[in-house]
Amino acid sequence: MNRTKYNMWLQYRPISNIKQYELLMNEISVFGDTPAIKSAKVEVDFALSKMLNQAIKVKGEDPTAKIVIGTIEKLGNLLNETQIQKLKSSNDEGYLLSSSNHQLKVIGNSDRAVLYGVHHLIRLVQLEKDISDLEIFQQPKNQFRMLNQWDNLDGSVERGYSGNSIFYKNGQIVQDKSRIKDYARYLSSVGINAISINNVNVWKEETYFITKKYLPEIKQIAEIFRAYGVTLYLSINFASPMAIGGLSTADPLDQSVKEWWRDKAAEIYEYIPDFGGFVVKADSEHRPGPFTYDRDHADGSNMLAEALEPFNGKVVWRCFVYNCLQDWRDRSTDRARAAFDHFKPLDGRFHENVILQIKNGPMDFQVREPVSPLIGAMPNTNQIIEFQVAQEYTGQQIDLCYLIPQWKQVLQFDTHIKGEGSSIEEIVAGNIHPYKYSGISAVSNIGDDENWTGNTLAQANLYGYGRLTWDPSLSAKEIAQEWIIQTFGNTETIIGTIEDMLLNSWEIYENYTAPLGVGWMVTPGVHYGPNIDGYEYSRWGTYHFADRDGIGVDRTKETGTGYTEQYEEPNQSKYNSLEHCPDELLLFFHYVPYKYMLKNGKSVIQHIYDTHFKGFNQVDGLIERWDSLKQYIDEDRFENVQDRLQRQKANAREWRDQINTYFYRKSRINDQHNRTIY
């Protein structure tokens, strides 16, 4: 195995200026022996030994050691009153890094917090930061920082672009769980604290994960994650009482169904006392749910919540609910409306241990779409936002697409739900409404490829997701720099070149794919490569409504689907107005003629031509910049990215040619620059 590819950002390469870290070379004392504390002890010993290129003396509990690590319960007597009060005022995952009087202290409010503090210290050393005068208080802004694995028992990964599952193989849970342990290390290093380990589409055998057939091995996986501060969840089949319980119904109001789930919850907690709870996809894309019994989503989720409540378990209920067989040719129907229409009327009816998981946009992780109006629209119902680290519609970890800038835009969006300042960031942090549970979740992008993410540069999205969910104030540039230095080293040429590639990649990908927010136009099922009229359920037409006169979806309240009414003012008026709608979302909200003039002075059709030619040329620029790093990057990782960029170029060419040809033939309007369009 090539450890450099495998280690992602935990390379722990020797640093250049060892002298400034002489304090670390002496002795470290770690207080406590819980699983998380033991993980912190192992990690700090391993990391510092490698980075400082010498053995580190890790000793027993000695408060006079040069570095002391432990909880406030163990080491509070080493703190002054101000430090104690600051820690006590932070949440359970808060910690302090302090260096004074020739001693460095890493002290957390919990075992998990100590582990986060240790990783923070390691990161500072790997970034070669000065640690001689530290006084850092940290706590995560988001309570839930979760990943959803879409892994199947046969070893496949739905929307997986990095090989097969690290959890399952050939219909069994893997026996060698060392790779799962390493995954837990990566997650803890960026502050991820929850994970569901099976696909939200729970089929056949996976339904049995909540039975004695699989719980003993799932218990082992839970123990691995527990040692790294990560709580385990399972996706469930809503119809499990019928599928594996022998009942004739899964009606959530049926007493026998309620009793079955109560018994099932008790059984699970016998194996995993700190089990997080269930992730549920119901009544969407042919998955069973409460609609079968004329019940609603509050009925369905509350039934599960009652079963989990005695054990402090949670129900994470996905709001990706729409009629996949609706007639998209009927312009009065609108998939974008679905989540809001289904869930908004139910506000206040959900139990306090139910959390609604809402995709960041109203459609499905497109390269550009507006923020879902459902986020924050239910003041009495816990919510978390869902991102997709896996690049399903953004290049599938073949094409480079650094997603942190996109997520930053989403989090900074001001909903005006409770007036100005009601940003998505503050809503999901629980600072706008009195949510008991809130935060951020995302679909993971890892598999059993040697480098975990298929494209080495796609590791930046996983790293960035963790760092951003912990601290949304970090810029996309700061996160990129951290990842680059830890992954490739502290060489100025490497940092500048890869940073430029990452920060421009989202715009480049958007340029040669879907224009002005219209979205989709990808090959159905595959979701990679262009198919302009492609629709997942093909007999129902297209998403973009392009004809000989124009393109776009009319979602206005006067003449369209009325989707714009789901937003609060002033967003409602901004999106509803053709004049004020941002150009990048124009075709999401409006149908316009091809000669409609954008705010940049170009017509829609000329913008389509120009951006697709530009995007293809920009990929050439990515290749040129990466090739300039050949002497700085190890051969395996250099060739991996080089190969992906060549594949991206082929994809960009196909998008450019098909999109431009399609819209030229639709509009019969020539390119102003007389470039070849077939």
Active site residues: 285, 364, 392
Residues 6+ away with beta carbon under 8 Å from 105: 67, 68, 69, 75, 78, 79, 96, 97, 98, 99
* Residue 385, strand partner residues: 358, 440
Residue 530 CB coordination number (10 Å): 19
What does DSSP say about strands 172-173 and 168-169: parallel, antiparallel, or unpaired? antiparallel
Side-by-side strand order, sheet with 95-100: 58-59, 28-30, 67-71, 103-108, 95-100, 135-138
Taking every pair of Cα atoms in the chain, the longest distance, rounded to a whole number of angstroms, is 80
Whole-angstrom distance, CA of residue 373 vs CA of residue 566: 6
Q: How far is CA 411 from CA 141, 294, 358, 536, in A?
A: 12, 35, 13, 29
DSSP state of 20: G
- Dihedrals phi, psi of 445, to nearest 5 degrees: -120, 20
Q: Among residues 31, 100, 36, which one has the least CA distance to residue 68? A: 31
* Beta strand residue intervals within 297-368, DSSP E: 314-318, 354-359
14 three-class SS = coil
Residues 6+ away with beta carbon under 8 Å from 8: 186, 451, 452, 453, 459, 462, 463, 487
* Residue 71, strand partner residues: 108
Q: What is the CA radius of gyration of the chain?
A: 26
